[in-house]
Structure 1
Amino acid sequence: MSWDSRQTAMLRAMGLRVWSPPLPRPVEETDVATMAVPEPAAPPAPVRAVAALPPQLLRQAPQASAPVDADERTQAIAGMDWDALRDSVAQCRACGLCESRKNTVFGVGNTRAHWMIVGEAPGENEDLQGEPFVGQAGKLLDNMLRALGLSRSEGPPERQVYIANTLKCRPPRNRNPEPSELAQCEPYLDRQIALIQPKVILAMGRFAVQSLLRSSDAIGRLRGRVHQYQGVPLIVTYHPAYLLRNLPDKARAWEDLCLAREALASSS
């Protein structure tokens, strides 16, 4: 008998219970078949860094387009015909006004007209219809022109007018045009005047006068005499929208129209 056996016998003789660990149960084949085998953990996804991309893919990344040179843009506009000029205005995104406009306001009238009228910026009605001088201000202008025997759509060129604005898009809430916006639209107006070759120009409103005469003087100081724009007689007068709010100045505006008629007769 081994020492462990003798010790166990002595403990039992003393009335003490001896604990012994249970023997392991032999593993049968059915147990092995039902044991769950853990799936191996998925390897971590590789981290893709831009620096690790192939050079050819890096070269394919979109690049911001280079800004158009102002002189090149002006030269390009100066060489456009009517169709190209109209398309360029319709697609223009040179300033932020393109984000809020509904329509560009190119111009209307006979492209061989002897009279050219230049306004300021489109208002709400002009933006909706895409035509300058509509609404109440347009009706007043039509009445003024009719008093001189002129029209924006009827008669021979000497009895028709061409109407354009310094800006081709409406400033939000009809605010005043900003100098940068006027500068972007200036080549369009210059080209319209060059294509029409009018006999007389009627500048209506402060911003039209500033754009064409490069003067910050008030209209009251500039009206009443004949100015020149690239050899073309130019008359300064009030904007019809202003006249709707200041009725006494309608008489002065009529004097300006008569002065324009005289300047046209003198240049013919």
Structure 2
Amino acid sequence: MHKSRTNFVFGEGDKNASLLLIGEAPGAQEDLEGRPFVGRSGKLLDKILKAIDRDRFNDTYICNILKCRPPENRNPSLSEIDECKPYLNHQIKLINPKLIVTLGLVAASTLLGKDSSLKDMRNNIFYYMNYPVLVTYHPAFLLRSPSFKRNAWEDFKRIRDYIKD
């Protein structure tokens, strides 16, 4: 997979953040720029963060499970996830967040080891490496299915309140 990438997309934000957002993998724009969530999904994520008085550089860190774009933008394989997971685990330990938020089903399933729907995982607090984890929709999904934006907004209000406590 690393042979097909343009850039290694490690992550971006405050390295001492209380909020760690984890997505699936870099997309085409992210691969070109070497930064996570910079395309249409990133613009939506930035708007959501602003609505809860945050941004990607203020007490927030954003990364993906995979650090390289899967060829042809396909879903990552289990072996690719297994190869990248030690890097993610190291990031989590270094950042030491108060809360981890997974963006989308792939990120949630990878961290939590659950074979459940996103709908079933939302509204619950899980733990990964002893860090609390909340699950919400990936911004790309919200762009394709705007009717879920209200649910995502409820999730992000919960995230805001959790971090304030």
Contact 1:108 1:152 in 2 (8 A): yes
Identity across matched positions, percent: 47
Question: Quick one: which amino acid aligns to residue 216 of structure 1?
Answer: D
**1:171 is aligned to 2:70:** yes
**Which structure ranks higher in relative contact order (CA pairs < 8 Å, sequence separation ≥ 6)?**
2
Match of 1:215 in 2: 114
Match of 1:78 in 2: none
Q: State the 1:264 CA deviation.
A: 2.6
* Alignment: residue pair count: 165
Structure 2 residue matching 1:228: 3-state secondary structure: strand
> Higher strand fraction: Structure 1 or Structure 2?
2
CA distance in 2, matches of 1:215, 1:263: 23
Map 1:71-150; keep pairs closer than 5 Å: 97-150=1-54
The alignment yields a C-alpha RMSD, in angstroms, of 1.0
Structure 2 residue matching 1:140: 3-state secondary structure: helix
**1:252 is aligned to 2:151:** yes
TM-score by length of 2: 0.96
Which structure would you say has the larger Rg? 1
CA distance in 2, matches of 1:146, 1:194: 26
Map 1:9-88; keep pairs closer than 5 Å: none
Match of 2:125 in 1: 226
Q: 1:186 aligns with which of 44, 61, 85?
A: 85
**1:205 is aligned to 2:104:** yes
TM-score by length of 1: 0.60
CA distance in 2, matches of 1:173, 1:128: 14
Q: State the 1:101 CA deviation.
A: 0.5
CA distance in 2, matches of 1:230, 1:152: 23
Listed as ranges, the gaps of 5+ residues in structure 2 are none
**1:240 is aligned to 2:139:** yes
CA distance in 2, matches of 1:104, 1:234: 25
Q: State the 1:230 CA deviation.
A: 2.4
Q: State the 1:231 CA deviation.
A: 2.4
Q: State the 1:263 CA deviation.
A: 2.6
Question: Quick one: which amino acid aligns to residue 54 of structure 2?
Answer: L
Give runs of ≥4 in structure 1 deviating > 4 Å: none
CA distance in 1, matches of 2:89, 2:13: 16
Contact 1:235 1:259 in 2 (8 A): no
CA distance in 2, matches of 1:170, 1:139: 19
CA distance in 2, matches of 1:191, 1:100: 24
Q: What is the CA deviation profile of residues 9-52 of structure 1, one whole-angstrom value per residue up to 9, with x for unaligned ones?
A: xxxxxxxxxxxxxxxxxxxxxxxxxxxxxxxxxxxxxxxxxxxx
Q: What is the CA deviation profile of residues 209-231 of structure 1, one whole-angstrom value per residue up to 9, with x for unaligned ones?
A: 11110112110110012112222
Match of 1:32 in 2: none
Q: What is the CA deviation profile of residues 124-172 of structure 1, one whole-angstrom value per residue up to 9, with x for unaligned ones?
A: 0010000000111000000000000001124xxxxx2100100000011
